[in-house]
Every structure is written in C-alpha cells, then in structure tokens.
C-alpha cells in the first residue's frame, strides 16, 4: 500500500532539530487530546453551520476527528515528535486521513485560543473531580468520627497537652478544612468556565462565527469578553494551583499527625499493615510511608504554584511562548491531588485508635488545669487571679510528683479556700462536656456538627 504523504509541520519546517527538541511540548501535552478533539469538533460544527466551510467538509472533519480519538484512546496513534504539540499532531493526522478538507479545520482559529480552551476544559474537569474526591474524603472523616464518637484525646497547643477534646471533634476539624478546599475548587471551576475560542491569535477572527454555539457545545457558561485577555490569561491555572496547595497543606497536616500518633511515643494510632511498610532490618517497625510521601509531595505542589506565578509575572500581552510552561506543573499537581485524596480516602477507614491510651493521655500532663481555674472563676475569682492560683497548685503537684487527681482537698485549699469537695469530680469527661458552646467539644455539640457536616456533604 502506498504510504500517504506526511504533512509537514506548519510551524517547524525549517527548525534546527535542537530548537525543535527544546520547544516541543507533545511529550506531555498529548494528554490534552480528549479536550482538543472535543474543541475541534464543536468548532467544525460551528464552521459548517455558519457556512464558513461546506457542510460535507465539516462532516468529513468531524468523522476524521472521531476516528483519531479512537486511535488515541486505543494507544495506536503514532505521536510525531517533529510536530510541536498535540494540536499539530491531530491536525496533521486529520489531513492524512481525510485529505484536503482537513486543512480547513484551522479556519477562524489559532492555537492560542485553541490551547487556552483545552486547558480550561482540563481545569474544569479536574476541579470537578477534586470537589467530588474531597466529598468522599470528608465522608471517611465523618465515618471515623462516628465510629470513635466516645473517644477522648488530649488537645494540643504548641504540641503540649492543653485541654481534653473528643477525637471526633479533632477529626471534624479536617472536614472543615476540606469544605473550604472544595469551595476553592468550585470557584476555580467557575472562573475557568469561560470560552476563549473565537479570540483567534489575539484580535478576534474575520469570520461570522457563532461563539455562543461553541460554548454551549463544549459546556462553557460564558464566552470571553476580550480576545487579548482570553489568549493571555492563565489565572485559572493559578487558581487551581492555589486550591491544590491548600488542599495538600491540609492533607500534610493530617499526615504529620498520623506520623506522630503512630509512633510509640504517642501510641494513639495503629497503622493498618496495608498502608504501612516494614523495615528490612528492624522487625518491630511499621512505617507511615503514605503519610510521609503526602507530606513530602506537598513541597512540589507548592513549587508548581510559585513556578506559574513567576512565569506569568513579566509577560507582556498577549500570547507568549512562555505560556507553554503552564502545563507540566498543572498536570503534576492535578495528578498528585487526585492520587493523594484517593489514597487517604482508602487509608482512613483502616485507621485504628488506641482509645485507652488516648484517654490516659487526655487526663495527664495537668490538662485539667484550665478547668480548675474556671472552677474558681465560677466562685467569683477574676480569671487572671484564678490562673495564678492554679499555676502555683500545678507547680506544687509537679514538685510532689503527683497528678492533679492525686491531690487531696487539703492541698487544693492551700492555694484557694474556695476549693470545695466537688473539685474532685472534675475529670476529663466533665471538662469536655463543660465546653458546651457552638463549635465546642461537648459531645452533643460534636454530634450536631457531625450531622451538619453530613448534611452539607449530601447537598454538594
């Protein structure tokens, strides 16, 4: 069979091979192909409908693009390295497949508005996947809070035991963080939901195009209002990185707690064998590698945010080739987020807490000192004075090598005559239940917060 002629690259025919190698993006932007094909099909239908190209040519182009998409899906499409990017690859393949009509696809379009369109579709897709992924992750946190509804733990400030809290209250703190992250991804989706196609290279196009039609074919809410902005703008990429960086930061903080809590010094948490690795030489170890990797990968996701901000800061309007650098970091952060949210959703139901040990720790370390001060306040002592009296009491207990519950009433009274027998009833549970304010750790408040969280998630 005679080999069909390979069309030359419309942009790189005379390029030095080193320059081509330096400037090509096809090795990574190939993954935009589903968006590129959808964008091209919508564009072609519009060209046909508007009489800018003949209807039969439009049909041939659409069929050709669909065939190319099947090849790309099946991994039988041969990507040409001599063609700069996926957009030129698809167009060249179309010309091989359907002949001259293929050369009409790029009418009334530039790669500048084309690539901006593809990237917006990518960002919308991934922002949507991440809002859904975060909802699933939040459900797992809620499940865990429900499973350990009665468990208490020391709440920390400065990583010092501060006041006892319910474990569920601590876990629901993460649900709040991921709520904000989901809101950021939703906003990112909304801001990306603007169609650039129709802006041409930068000035618009001299054809009677129907942008609203293309927008509705591609599921864009609006069309861009300024062609120069449309091809220059990558704010939506920055927005994605911003949401990604904060989400990773939240995951990384939880990862840090998994690392701390699963070590013998805390001993709050037992990692499931399926999410921990052993050591080749130390048989007692269960290493929290998944948590550590998430914590570590947060660094590169932050880096991607800084990289795109820096790439954009000096660019004159409108399109500059620098903008090609928007993709690798975006793909990397998107993939890292999807996989990190996914692996945490899988790991969280497997976490096992040592509730006895946590309860013991919750009462230790003089964590009830604030409750003693509050006790005196209820008897009329100004808080600052109560604080001072209890500080002396704690110093006395420390000196005597006793915990607060081991002190006799007579010892309490040395620091304030207002201490009465009921002081001996102040324990961890009492402390927790006394914080009965909206947002507080009292069990009825936490139960309500859990219910509200579930309701919000169901409505998202």
Which residues are catalytically annotated? 158, 279
* Side-chain-side CA neighbours of residue 33 (13 Å): 25
Q: At 225, is the secondary structure helix, strand, or coil?
A: coil
Compute the least distance from the CB of residue 112 to ligand ARG, in Å. 5
The residue among 112 and 232 lying less far from ligand ARG, judged by its C-beta, is 112
Q: Are 232 and 318 in contact (CB under 8 A)?
A: yes
Q: Element (H or E) spanning 164, and its range?
A: strand 160-166
Of 36 and 371, nearer to ligand ARG (C-beta) is 36
CB of 87 to ligand ARG, least distance (A): 6
Residues within window 270-299 making contact with ligand ARG, judged by CB under 6 A:
none
Smallest distance from the beta carbon of 7 to ligand ARG, in angstroms?
17
Smallest distance from the beta carbon of 202 to ligand ARG, in angstroms?
Answer: 10
Q: Which lies closer to ligand ARG via its Cβ, residue 37 or residue 151?
A: 37
| Residue 348 three-state SS | helix
324 binds ligand ARG (CB under 6 A): yes
Rounded to a whole number of angstroms, the CA Rg of the chain reads 31
| CA gap 330, 241 in Å, rounded | 7
- Judged by CB, which is closer to ligand ARG: 43, or 111? 111
Q: Is there binding between residue 85 and ligand ARG (CB under 6 A)? A: yes
Query: Is residue 65 within 8 Å of 40, Cβ to Cβ?
Result: yes
Distance CA 297, CA 343 (A): 13
The reply on whether position 32 binds ligand ARG by CB under 6 A is: no
* Beta carbon of residue 25, minimum distance to ligand ARG (angstroms, whole number): 5
Using CB under 6 A as the binding rule, whether residue 340 contacts ligand ARG is answered as no
231 binds ligand ARG (CB under 6 A): no
Any contact of residue 25 with ligand ARG (CB under 6 A)?
A: yes
268: phi then psi, degrees, rounded to nearest 5: -85, -25
Strand-pair partners of 163: 155
Q: Total residues contacting ligand ARG (rule CB under 6 A)?
A: 11
Among positions 102-121, residues that touch ligand ARG (CB under 6 A) are 111-112, 115
String of contacts with ligand ARG for each residue 361-400, x by CB under 6 A: ----------------------------------------
Residue 396, classed as helix, strand or coil, is helix
Rounded distance, CA 25 to CA 39, Å? 19
Stretch in the footprint of ligand ARG (CB under 6 A) among 60-68, 237-245, 319-327, 390-398: 319-327
Strands (E), 11-159: 152-157
Q: Are 245 and 301 in contact (CB under 8 A)?
A: yes
Which distant-in-sequence residues (6+ apart) come within 8 Å of 239 by Cβ?
A: 184, 187, 188, 191, 192
Mapped onto helix, strand or coil, the DSSP state of residue 382 is: coil
Among 61, 271, 323, 407, binds ligand ARG (CB under 6 A): 323
**Which residues are at the interface with ligand ARG (CB under 6 A)?**
25, 29, 84-85, 111-112, 115, 319, 321, 323-324
């Amino acid at each position: 069979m005679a080999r069909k002629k390979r069309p030359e690259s419309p942009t790189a025919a005379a390029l030095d091979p080193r320059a081509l190698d330096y400037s090509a993006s096809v090795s990574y932007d190939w993954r935009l192909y589903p968006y590129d094909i959808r964008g091209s099909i919508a564009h072609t239908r519009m060209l046909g409908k508007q009489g800018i190209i003949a209807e039969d040519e439009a049909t041939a182009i659409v069929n050709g693009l669909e065939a190319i998409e099947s090849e790309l899906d099946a991994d039988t499409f041969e990507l040409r390295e001599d063609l700069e990017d996926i957009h030129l690859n698809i167009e060249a393949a179309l010309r091989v497949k359907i002949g001259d009509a293929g050369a009409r696809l790029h009418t009334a379009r530039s790669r500048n508005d084309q690539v901006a369109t593809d990237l917006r579709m990518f960002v919308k897709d991934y922002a949507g996947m991440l809002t859904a992924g975060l909802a699933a992750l939040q459900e797992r946190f809620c499940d865990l809070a429900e499973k350990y509804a009665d468990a208490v733990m020391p709440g920390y400030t400065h990583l010092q035991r501060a006041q006892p809290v319910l474990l569920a209250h601590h876990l629901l703190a993460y649900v709040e963080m991921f709520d904000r992250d989901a809101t950021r991804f939703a906003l990112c989706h909304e801001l990306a939901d603007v169609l650039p196609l129709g802006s041409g290279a930068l000035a618009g196009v001299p054809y009677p195009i129907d942008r609203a039609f293309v927008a509705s074919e591609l599921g864009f809410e609006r069309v861009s209002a300024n062609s120069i902005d449309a091809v220059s703008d990558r704010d939506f990429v920055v927005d994605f990185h911003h949401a990604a960086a904060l989400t990773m930061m939240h995951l990384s903080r939880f990862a840090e707690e998994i690392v701390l809590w699963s070590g013998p010094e805390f001993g709050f948490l037992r990692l499931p064998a399926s999410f921990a690795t052993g050591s080749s030489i130390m048989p007692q170890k269960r290493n929290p590698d998944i948590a550590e990797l998430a914590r570590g990968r947060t660094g590169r996701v932050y880096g991607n945010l800084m990289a795109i901000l820096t790439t954009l800061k000096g660019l004159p309007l409108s399109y500059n080739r620098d903008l090609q650098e928007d993709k690798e970091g975006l793909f990397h952060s998107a993939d890292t987020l999807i996989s990190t949210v996914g692996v945490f959703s899988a790991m969280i139901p497997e976490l096992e807490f040592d509730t006895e040990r946590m309860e013991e720790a919750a009462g230790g370390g003089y964590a009830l000192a604030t409750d003693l001060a509050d006790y005196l306040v209820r008897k009329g002592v100004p808080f600052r004075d109560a604080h001072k009296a209890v500080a002396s009491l704690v110093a006395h207990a420390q000196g005597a090598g006793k915990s607060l519950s081991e002190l006799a009433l007579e010892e309490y009274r040395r620091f304030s005559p207002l201490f009465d027998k009921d002081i001996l009833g102040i324990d961890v549970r009492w402390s927790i239940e006394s914080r009965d304010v909206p947002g507080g750790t009292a069990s009825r408040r936490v139960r309500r917060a859990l219910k509200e969280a579930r309701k919000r998630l169901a409505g998202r």
